[in-house]
Amino acid sequence: MMICSQYYPWLRYSKAFALCVALLLSSCSSFLDEDPDNRVALDDLEKAEQLLVNAYSVASQNFTDWMTDDVQFTQGTNLRLSHEQIYSWQDVTTGPTEQDTPDFFWFQTYEAIAHANEVLKVLDELPAETDEEKARKRAVEAEALLTRAYGHFMLVNLFGEHFDGRSGSNDGVPYVKTPETEFLAQYERESVRKVYDEVEDDLLDGLELLDDTFFENSGKYHFNRNAALAFASRYYLFKGEFTKCIQYSDQILGSNPEVFVKDLTSLEFQQASASIIEYPRLYTSPDLPSNFLLMRKISLVQRTDFAFGPDENFYSSLFGSHPFGNLTDERENPALVKGFDAVYPSRYQSLFERNSLNSSVGTPYYIHVAFSGEEVLLNRAESNAQLNNLDAALADMQVLVAKRYSGGTPDLTLQALRDFYDSSNDQNNLLSFIILLERRKEFIMQGMRWFDIKRYGFSVTHDLADGSLITLNEDDRRKVLQIPTSAVEVGGLEPNPR
């Protein structure tokens, strides 16, 4: 249950409603001498900590998979209008309350940011006399800064162009740093570069203040140090500052990265693969060193009767493609049948929270792995490959493939990649292996592929129900998701060009 209802103006209000409120306030000022709602006053650190639970957006990014080359038109599933619009890269028109849409992601993420800002606003006023209280206060501030940075980072990478030297000056999103105090306030979209700079400031400040001591019992559901470092690793990778990506990745992985990689060839995972409940439960377990940050996400993307999935022939071909002969890629299974012609990898358990004990309605959700050791390892390998540090990149990829392929020992060498890609360009071969193959397999249907498509300008072709094809080109403007209509009409934001 949310402790505070702090919304930004484009979320809920209309001018007609504003007029009604003004009339009511003019005649009921005495009534408002007392708190008009059940809002909790943030008058101590414990309440501030509790409020930060809501600073993690409940909106899933996994709807972006429907726009990627990992899915094909799926027969026999429930297809909503929003699903078909997302699949064909149209602007979604179904409104902000429908989950698994860009609008839902926008509103829920700005609402999460609002909770972080509410905490940051009152922190200076909260008493902290002992050294322990002061340390606790710093930890609360760190978490608020990190959640605010992460929310804006995700928003700008969905609703703005990918950051590079050419697009840094293009429109990003508003970077909101203060609680809402003005009714129907107007906002401006900051440039992608400016948003990235603001994210970096909050991220580095949060890292400096972070103290894991205060999250010992629920560390994987908070921005612990490994999660924050993993965020920095992703941030600098996306920004193209590969040396810094390696620097922050090293602080987690060091010279012993295998500790932070799930061993899918192990007996534990092999036994769990017989159960569609136990495998995703193990995969997302907070006890695994590889899982750095877990988040609850309201979503139906993990349901097998819902929207799009990888065509079974494509799926089999993808996981059968590797330079290791007859070895088996353990990431292929377990997978569930989705519709008539697709499959779905069993990574996230489809969960449901009932409105009451006897209710048949409620909220569908899953536990999302927001940051993991596998991602950091792949970030470091990609960065080293970009810097032409091929031996270092090979070493990291050897760690990953050793825990992904069974039936023998995979031996990753430059010569093996030359043979596999029939090319003598070692750097291109290694980057293709990291990005087009291993990263794609590792995060299939986990909401990561879309960002790689934007980062590298990949084109995507989709088939439709009638057999026709549509294509999203390398520099297609539709790769930048459209700003919600209400943010344009009420918040005063400029829409993205189409």
SS3 state of residue 376: helix
Question: What's the pLDDT score for residue 16?
Answer: 37
Give the list of residues 6+ apart from residue 112 with CB closer than 8 angstroms, or none. 54, 55, 56, 57, 58, 147, 151
CB-count burial class (<10 Å; 0-12, 13-18, 19+) for 47: middle
Distance in angstroms (rounded) separating the CA atoms of residues 95 and 114:
20
Task: State pLDDT tens for residues 405-429.
Answer: 999 999 999 999 999 999 999 999 9
Question: What's the pLDDT score for residue 452?
Answer: 98
Task: State pLDDT tens for residues 133-183.
Answer: 899 999 999 999 999 999 999 999 999 999 986 666 799 999 999 987 665
Give the list of residues 6+ apart from residue 285 with CB closer than 8 angstroms, or none. 291
Question: What's the pLDDT score for residue 456?
Answer: 96
DSSP structure class, residue 482: P
CB-count burial class (<10 Å; 0-12, 13-18, 19+) for 19: exposed
Reported pTM: 0.90
Task: Indicate whether 386 pLDDT > 80.
Answer: yes
Other CB atoms within a 10 A radius of the CB of residue 119 amount to 28
pLDDT band per the 50, 70, 90 thresholds, residue 450: very high
Angle at which helix 225-239 crosses helix 131-159, to 10 degrees, equals 30
Task: Indicate whether 10 pLDDT > 60.
Answer: no
Other CB atoms within a 10 A radius of the CB of residue 287 amount to 7
